[in-house]
Structure 1
């Protein structure tokens, strides 16, 4: 047989070891001994763990709090992700036109139900969510114009008011988790009111969703109102 272990890409060799001793007396004191390793992996040079070695060990095991929960990728990034900044926790993604279940408060007089929604652009961090509408179903580009999101609870700048929804995004470490969580919060909360008298559509917003709810009608894109922004403006 041929020994091919030297062809492996990565091989880890032991270079040091710690042995923890505990006194069996009532004092229950402990003691740490440090060993170097020779080329064969045998422990040598035993000595009490020094203050310097203890500090280096602590540094290697410490993860800064502001870095411990940074957004990461838990695999291949989603195809609909457009932007991702781990330092600021900011993400941007889009969703294609599709049917979703929407919920409306009784005060609006709109029955909750399955509604067709336009393509959307989402921007978020761990604390806030902004949404916009898009035309068509293709992946947007930097020059894609943005339209007001045709929903209640969204102000003129695109910021979403989630009211009494208990937003818990701090523990979500991956981009995909955060994207999914924000979409769930948005569409599982009750739409209740227009923000600061901002009407996001060409026409009556109540009548629009009253007509779409529970039907198979596609969202009428001619009802969307263009903003003065393009996608690239959100990246500045």
Structure 2
């Protein structure tokens, strides 16, 4: 029999001890039964003892304990789109946010300086992070994405044609739990954007990506011009279906 390794993170400094075990039984007709078993320690190892049927009161007590735990770390905000293992996808609604650039000397004059930063309108974004990847796509509109939502190339410097983010020397958070979303957002949005990472179009804009972001920094647009977004030719649902190779 395969053994699964797991760990428990408590929401406080209290130490959890193994006390009882709950076994669930399901019948072919859809019925279910739960039994509660005392856990004894024999020769330093936990052993599950004989069980008894779970009473309604015991079920309520267990539910209350689990809900208390969920209140600390199990709540999923609306921005979370998908979570499985260490893979986390989330949505960042469109908003005015600060963006900063540090471009090469050869682009400085046309860009208005080597270092520039302003608060500008930015599109809705979908981020994916895991131990293997860090990616970002743009989405149109201000509604929470669904599996049918088309994805667009992340219109930022340091993002390649597969929407992978070049980390460079930017420190990223450890772990991809829900409470780290703000830290992942900051790691991307508060970093310096230095150069385009695509061979094709980063944005569909006359003059290219440098001209586009120069005009954004010059406050030419009151709202992010979604017409410039380049179709990534996939949807959120298709992306989730391809998550193993993402």
User: TM-score, length-normalised on structure 2?
Assistant: 0.62
Greater relative CO (CA pairs within 8 A, separation 6+): 1
- Match of residue 141 from structure 2: 136
SS at match of 1:112: strand
Residue by residue over 1:195-223, the C-alpha shift from the partner in whole angstroms, topping out at 9 and shown as x without a partner, is 14243100211111111116262111111
Larger Rg over CA atoms:
1
Question: Could you list the runs of 5+ residues in structure 2 that have no partner in the other structure?
Answer: 1-18, 20-40, 48-70, 242-246
For 1:106-145, list aligned pairs within 5 A.
106-107=103-104, 108-109=107-108, 110=111, 111-145=116-150
Equivalent in 190, 203, 208 of residue 212 of structure 2: 208
| RMSD across aligned positions (CA) | 2.4
For 1:1-236, list aligned pairs within 5 A.
52-56=42-46, 74-85=73-84, 87=85, 89-107=86-104, 108-109=107-108, 110=111, 111-170=116-175, 174-177=177-180, 179-203=181-205, 204-213=208-217, 215=219, 217-236=222-241
2 CA distance for matches of 1:155 and 1:100?
21
| Contact 1:102–1:112 (Cα < 8 Å) also in 2 | yes
Q: 1:196 to 1:180 in 2, by over 3 A?
A: same
Q: 1:52 to 1:75 in 2, by over 3 A?
A: closer
> Where in structure 1 do 4 or more consecutive aligned residues deviate above 3 Å?
none
Residue by residue over 1:174-215, the C-alpha shift from the partner in whole angstroms, topping out at 9 and shown as x without a partner, is 3122x1121111011111111142431002111111111162
User: TM-score, length-normalised on structure 1?
Assistant: 0.64
Residue by residue over 1:42-93, the C-alpha shift from the partner in whole angstroms, topping out at 9 and shown as x without a partner, is xxxxxxxxx9522449xxxxxxxxxxxxxx97142111111111x2x11111
Residues matched between the structures, number: 168
| Contact 1:165–1:185 (Cα < 8 Å) also in 2 | yes
Question: Could you list the runs of 5+ residues in structure 1 that have no partner in the other structure?
Answer: 1-14, 16-50, 58-71
SS at match of 2:121: strand
1 CA distance for matches of 2:117 and 2:126?
23
Q: 1:121, CA displacement in angstroms?
A: 1.1
